[in-house]
Amino acid sequence: MFELITEQRDGVATGIAFCNFHIYNMSSRKIQEVWEGESYYFDANSRRSPIVRRGFIRCVQSNSEYPAPHLIHLSADSSGRRLAERAFVLRGKSFVEVRLRPAT
């Protein structure tokens, strides 16, 4: 079993576009989506300035703090201000959100 990470354009309309990261589990029998998270969001229809968000993912190997490999998903606005940070671990065949531990 292994995973494939893609970035896909999931929606486009007048003044709006969004892309998402998709992670698929691949086996000899099937391909199954196991996680999805925002990669890029643009909305020019806002009354003030366009709304822009960027997402980033980081895959981290297991270590003493996190015994299982995990995925960090960050999102930020156009100025780089962090909006959200979430962590997920692969349990079985799906990703489960876990609480981030503060760095020591």
At which residue do the structure tokens 């981030």 appear? 100
Give the per-residue pLDDT at 77: 84
β-sheet bridge partners, residue 88: 71, 97
Closest among 54, 96, 104 to 77, alpha carbons compared: 54
At which residue do the structure tokens 């995990």 appear? 70
pLDDT in tens, the chain (104 residues): 467 889 999 999 989 999 999 999 888 888 989 999 999 999 998 788 888 999 999 888 877 766 777 888 999 987 778 888 898 888 877 888 988 665 54
Give the per-residue pLDDT at 18: 94
Backbone angles phi, psi at 101, to 5 degrees: -95, 135
Give the per-residue pLDDT at 102: 52
Contact 82, 65 (CB under 8 A): no
CA distance 94 to 13: 31
At which residue do the structure tokens 């709304």 appear? 51
